[in-house]
Structure 1
């Protein structure tokens, strides 16, 4: 079993592009959604405490 698999550059760029696009699309919802506090209630308490 190999511990490391070498991925082609196009696949790495595709995944990074998808991650950035998903983050940019989610940003307005995370900032302006009226019920966004409910999302933060799903986070583990240790993550919420570090944000204060």
Structure 2
């Protein structure tokens, strides 16, 4: 749990500025997490039913 706080503590204002200037990586990550991950889970649940 401490590692999460330590990682976030190392973020600087330049890191946030880079996200605003080049948001492509953030958008791709959000799409992967919010769309692709549930679709893969749904597909696997249908392929391997319990």
TM-score of the superposition, structure 1-length normalised?
Answer: 0.34
TM-score of the superposition, structure 2-length normalised?
Answer: 0.35
